[in-house]
Structure 1
Amino acid sequence: MFALFDPDDDFVVRRGRLPHWFQPGITYFITFRTTDSIPADLLRSWHLRRDDWFRRRDIDPRSSDWRAAFDERPELEREYHLVFSRPFMEYLDRGRGACPLSDTRLARLVAESLHHGDGTRYWLGAFVAMPNHVHVLVCLIGRTELAAQCRSWKKFSATAINRALGSRGRFWQSESFDHAVRSPEQFAYLQQYIAQNPKKARLAPGSYLHYQPR
């Protein structure tokens, strides 16, 4: 059910502030966060340092084939994770911003949006709604498009949450982080990461919402 990325099949790379790889019908690990979870100046600094890191290793971060160049040098992956991915996720776990999803009433609205297309547009894997961000594993069905599906989750949940709070305005950061899952071992690791994230962030029971399909 949870198909993996096939480097020999066709795929598309799109780029905003982050690169996004799309291949129909495969499994993704997706993170989306609230607008105030990371200050804009800190995020800009992170992007500049990351781009400079790539350039110093003779990889053009603005090139459409930067990922292929990166994959050809597997020794860089661990370093990248330690220098960029891990600190980014650890910063989110510190719980900056208003952290509205620590209210499980609001976290359930996010869960409702994730469950809505399960079995029709995608197969829903594990997810956790942390106070200011969400991690989810999902396998797209057919031609379901990743970016469009992420927008749908955000729009549905933001509308419901703003209604519940009696507020207006943007709730989610517009761009999400997504990673095409490449191996069964990586899938198992990400499931474990999702399950252990609340404990790692030292969250009290009732301040997060974890789902693990049977």
Structure 2
Amino acid sequence: MSGEFLNQWVKIDRHGSKLPHWQQADCMQFVTFRLKDSVPQLKLNAWKEARNHWLRLHPKPWDALSLKEYKLRFTQPFEAWLDKGYGACILNRSTNRDKLSVILMNDHYARTIFESWVIMPNHVHLLFKPKTPVPQLIKSWKGISAREMGHGSIWQRNYRDTLIRSEAHFFAVVRYIRRNPAPLAENTFTLWESDRAQAIE
């Protein structure tokens, strides 16, 4: 099981310039991608400016204190905006969520191993162990789903990802994904969990 988590002694593949992405062999990933209109542009621009300034002062790899500060200043506010349900929220419609669900599960075991995911009204959280480079997976899922839903260009270009550091981190992410839709009506989200994730209380 330890091979599934971030190993400081194993090479990390880095890609992307504006929003750097890390991938490491068999390490599990927590990925979030969102619809284009899910965060108001003015809020997003201010967030990006503050984040870019902070990143210049705090280059990776981060210690625990820097990671905690990043989450408090950037991750938590961003997640709160997503959960407010800005935008058209086309994933509110079960037909659109069903299309995306089928696309994701077609790759389960073939190109990735999912542990948990949730499709929210305007964003998606995924916890998985990739068998294919993550950028290829995300590009494929976004492209196919946009065509299937017939809405043209619907997804924000980039995505956010985190390498899973430990079993405790894995448990925390499973719980986070499970709790994310708690305030929503049942018919406005789709949650999927592996047997392993379901066993986590």
Q: TM-score, normalised by structure 1?
A: 0.86
CA contact (8 A) 1:29 1:138 kept: yes
Q: Does the alignment pair 1:177 with 2:160?
A: yes
The residue number in structure 2 matching 1:186 is 169
- Which of 90, 94, 103 aligns to 1:100? It is 90
The residue number in structure 2 matching 1:25 is 26
The residue number in structure 2 matching 1:63 is none
CA contact (8 A) 1:30 1:177 kept: yes
In 1, the alpha carbon distance for the partners of 2:23 and 2:41 equals 27
- Structure 1: 5+ residue runs without aligned partners? 60-65
Q: 1:54 to 1:17 in 2, by over 3 A?
A: closer
Q: Show CA shifts across 1:116-147 (max 9, x none).
A: 11112111111000000000101012xx1110
In 1, the alpha carbon distance for the partners of 2:51 and 2:23 equals 22
The residue number in structure 2 matching 1:119 is 109
Three-state SS of the structure 2 residue aligned to 1:6 is coil
**2:192 maps to amino acid:** Y
The residue number in structure 1 matching 2:11 is 10
The residue number in structure 1 matching 2:40 is 39
Three-state SS of the structure 2 residue aligned to 1:114 is helix
**1:93 maps to amino acid:** D
In 1, the alpha carbon distance for the partners of 2:26 and 2:107 equals 14
The residue number in structure 2 matching 1:204 is 185
Q: Show CA shifts across 1:163-184 (max 9, x none).
A: xxxx4x2011111111111111
In 1, the alpha carbon distance for the partners of 2:107 and 2:52 equals 35
The residue number in structure 1 matching 2:199 is none
In 2, the alpha carbon distance for the partners of 1:27 and 1:11 equals 13
Three-state SS of the structure 1 residue aligned to 2:162 is strand
Q: Please, which moves more after superposition, 99-108 or 10-19?
A: 10-19
The residue number in structure 2 matching 1:67 is 60
In 2, the alpha carbon distance for the partners of 1:17 and 1:39 equals 19
CA contact (8 A) 1:13 1:21 kept: yes
**2:60 maps to amino acid:** R
Q: Show CA shifts across 1:60-95 (max 9, x none).
A: xxxxxx212xx2x32222122111100101100000
Shift of 1:25: 2.1
Three-state SS of the structure 2 residue aligned to 1:17 is coil
Root mean square deviation of aligned Cα = 1.5
Three-state SS of the structure 2 residue aligned to 1:53 is helix
Q: TM-score, normalised by structure 2?
A: 0.91
**1:35 maps to amino acid:** K
Q: Show CA shifts across 1:25-59 (max 9, x none).
A: 2210010100111123322211110122344xx43
Q: Does the alignment pair 1:153 with 2:147?
A: no
CA contact (8 A) 1:24 1:145 kept: no
Three-state SS of the structure 1 residue aligned to 2:181 is helix
In 2, the alpha carbon distance for the partners of 1:51 and 1:151 equals 24
